[in-house]
């Protein structure tokens, strides 16, 4: 199998993609075919030898999600085909307050997740949250678990308390913000620049301070009104700045030392307020289960930007041959993110002649078990966010449109919103029907502003949403029989309709819903 392999301790250049022996599960173990894994800053430390108990060569990575494909002897509670996210460590032991001596993370000292397969004890498995993609689940374990344990187990954070996150922006701090807001805490942050603080506020923080301001210690008490819990991964330069703002009984939780190990403070600031300073690392299996349950209940997921940034950069590079193309990666899972994207677009470009609302999300499941939580996220991405994009860009679109050449808005719908397809994707189908109706409403309202609004209605195309109906070499025969033209759609099929609507030929078309589906709607 292929694996990301560290051959020697000599920096990142010593990491290779290698062919290694495919593991076979032993007693009590399962083998997981990894669908997605992520890289933490920890992996960089490892390549430089900055990790206790180093042993090489090794497979890197402690975060991963995939599908169980082999069961070892004596295993119960797991089946082949189970979709799972991996607890990122082994051998925590019975003491919930601290790990056992032989505790360790996947990827050092134990075999890592950045490989085609990994064998782990069955206790390392947790069901992948249904609302998450494999990429999202695979990016979550270490950072989310570290944050959860620090806040909820060590920090004992309660609804209504005030939390200060020192140095927001990294994975642990960002998850801490999401968890705390969902918990009902009042969250304040410090950050290196105003953009980071503004993003935190968009996620629910009450306010923030620049830790680059030498006088921020004079402002933190006034801003927060007193702090009950502090989450800090780099306390050395910041501790003295916030310690006088803590309330009686406060808990200061330290989960890292990335800015140095020496902390200076007055003992009286701690004992006179009966405050606690506690250390926290990773989390035990119970923390992991509780974290995943909370994330599922509150639809908390990682914001994956690097993968999308790579895709944006690649597309921009390809299209750059035709003209200027600026990549602006964004996760449009919330209306707030749409507002942020428009602001960044406005700063980078300014004018807007054409808006294509293409972001989409789905959820499938049988009616008997289709959960209530399958609705808010799907409706937000598919309906609310496109509306927000239109509203926020109205000044630019209105300025660009003329009587002869109106500005264009194109919403991407789906045949699932026009015809019953028996896909058991109830929230998705309803959301796309809403997109079609919203398109007609917007078209009528915006015509006087010289803005056309149309919907393109794709049928079955080779995308991630149809991956379960096909493999690399073939397409499910039943699906093809359902399509009058007898094939899946191709990129040019969609591109042609979009170009038509954006060209002079489409200037007199608005409020239309155009199926591009091989005849599924029109011939059915």
Q: Is 116 part of any domain? A: yes
Residues 485 and 414 in one domain: yes
Report the number of distinct structural domains present in the chain.
3
Of 263, 298, 333, the domain-final residue: 298
Q: Are 164 and 229 in contact (CB under 8 A)?
A: yes
Residue 254: which pLDDT band, with cuts at 50, 70 and 90? very high
Give the domain CATH number at 259: 3.40.50.720
**Residue 17: CB partners within 8 Å, gap ≥ 6?**
2, 3, 4, 5
Asked if residue 407 belongs to a domain, the reply is yes
Statement: residue 490 has pLDDT above 50: yes
Mean pLDDT value across residues 105-129 = 94
87, 255, 426, 428: the catalytic one is 428
- Same domain membership, residue 210 and residue 74: no
**Is residue 475 pLDDT above 80, yes or no?**
no
In a domain, 523, yes or no: no
- Tell me the whole-structure pTM to 2 decimals: 0.63
Mean per-residue pLDDT for 35-41? 89
Contact 507, 408 (CB under 8 A): no
* 336 located within any domain: no
- Do 39 and 55 lie in one domain? The reply is yes
Mean pLDDT calculated for residue range 445-464: 91
Tell whether 459 and 432 lie within a shared domain. Answer: yes
- Whether 206 and 59 share a structural domain: no
**Residue 124 sits in the same domain as residue 159:** no
Whether residues 283 and 394 share a domain: the answer is: no
| Pair 428, 443 in one domain | yes
User: What pLDDT band is residue 474 in, cutting at 50, 70 and 90?
Assistant: low
Residue 464 lies in a domain: yes
Question: Same domain for 131 and 165?
Answer: no
79 and 218 in a common domain = no
> What is the band of 306 on the pLDDT scale with cuts at 50, 70, 90?
very low
The verdict on whether 428 is a catalytic residue reads yes
**Domain range enclosing 240:** 144-298
Determine how many CB atoms are found less than 10 A away from the CB of residue 146.
25
Among residues 111, 171, 183, which one has the least CA distance to residue 144?
Answer: 171
Whether 468 has a pLDDT exceeding 70, the answer reads no
CB 407 within 8 A of CB 451: yes
Residue where one domain finishes, among candidates 119, 138, 157: 138
Work out the average pLDDT over 197-202.
85
Among 138, 167, 183, the domain boundary falls at 138
Residue 320 lies in a domain: no
CATH code for the domain of 80 = 3.90.180.10
Kindly give the residue spans of alpha helices, DSSP state H, lying in 265-384. 268-271, 285-298, 306-319, 335-348, 376-379
Instruction: Give the SS3 label for residue 48.
Output: coil
Same-domain check for residues 193 and 97: no
The pLDDT tens digits for 361-383 are: 887 777 887 888 789 888 999 99
Q: Is residue 236 part of a domain?
A: yes
Provide the pLDDT for residue 472.
45
315 in any annotated domain: no
Crossing angle of the two packed helices 141-148 and 285-298, in degrees rounded to 10: 100
Q: Are residues 43 and 124 in the same domain?
A: yes
């Amino acid at each position: 199998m292929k694996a990301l392999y560290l051959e020697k301790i000599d920096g990142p250049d010593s990491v290779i993609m290698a062919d290694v022996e495919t593991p076979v599960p032993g007693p009590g173990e399962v083998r997981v075919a990894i669908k997605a894994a992520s890289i933490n800053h920890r992996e960089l430390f490892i390549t430089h030898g900055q990790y206790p108990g180093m042993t090489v060569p090794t497979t890197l990575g402690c975060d991963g999600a995939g599908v169980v494909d082999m069961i070892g002897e004596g295993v119960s509670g797991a089946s082949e085909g189970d979709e799972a996210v991996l607890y990122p460590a082994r051998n925590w032991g019975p003491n919930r307050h601290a790990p056992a001596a032989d505790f360790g993370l996947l990827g050092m000292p134990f075999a890592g997740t950045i490989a085609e397969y990994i064998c782990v004890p069955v206790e390392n498995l947790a069901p992948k949250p249904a609302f998450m993609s494999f990429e999202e689940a695979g990016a979550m374990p270490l950072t989310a678990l570290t944050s959860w344990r620090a806040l909820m187990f060590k920090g004992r954070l309660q609804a209504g308390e005030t939390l200060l996150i020192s140095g927001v922006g990294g994975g642990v701090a960002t998850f801490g913000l999401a968890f705390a807001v969902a918990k009902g805490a009042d969250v304040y942050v410090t950050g290196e620049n105003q953009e980071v603080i503004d993003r935190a506020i968009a996620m629910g923080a009450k306010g923030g301070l620049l830790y680059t301001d030498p006088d921020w210690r004079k402002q933190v008490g006034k801003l927060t009104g007193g702090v009950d819990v502090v989450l800090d991964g780099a306390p050395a330069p910041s501790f003295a700045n916030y310690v006088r703002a803590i309330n009686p009984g406060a808990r200061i939780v330290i989960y890292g030392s990335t800015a140095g190990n020496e902390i200076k403070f007055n003992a009286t600031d701690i004992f006179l307020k009966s405050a606690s300073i506690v250390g926290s690392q990773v989390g035990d299996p119970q923390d992991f289960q509780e974290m995943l349950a909370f994330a599922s209940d509150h639809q908390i997921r990682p914001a994956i930007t690097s993968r999308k940034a790579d895709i944006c950069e690649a597309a921009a590079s390809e299209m750059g041959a035709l003209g200027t193309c600026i990549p602006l990666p964004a996760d449009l899972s919330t209306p707030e993110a749409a507002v942020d994207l428009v602001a960044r677009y406005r700063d980078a470009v300014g004018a807007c002649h054409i808006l294509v609302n293409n972001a989409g999300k789905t959820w499938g499941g049988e009616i008997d078990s289709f959960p209530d939580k399958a609705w808010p996220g799907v409706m937000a991405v598919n309906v609310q966010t496109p509306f927000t994009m239109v509203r926020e860009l109205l000044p630019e679109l209105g300025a660009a449109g003329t009587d002869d050449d109106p500005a264009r808005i194109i919403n991407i719908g789906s045949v699932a919103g026009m015809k019953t397809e028996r896909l058991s994707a109830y929230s998705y189908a309803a959301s796309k029907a809403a997109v079609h109706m919203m398109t007609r409403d917007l078209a009528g309202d915006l015509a006087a502003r010289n803005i056309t609004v149309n919907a393109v209605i794709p049928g079955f195309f080779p995308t991630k949403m149809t991956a379960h109906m096909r493999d690399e070499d073939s397409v499910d025969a039943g699906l093809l029989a359902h399509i009058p033209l007898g094939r899946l759609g191709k990129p040019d099929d969609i591109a042609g309709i979009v170009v038509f609507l954006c060209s002079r030929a489409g200037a007199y078309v608005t409020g239309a819903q155009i199926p591009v589906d091989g005849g599924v709607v029109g011939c059915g």
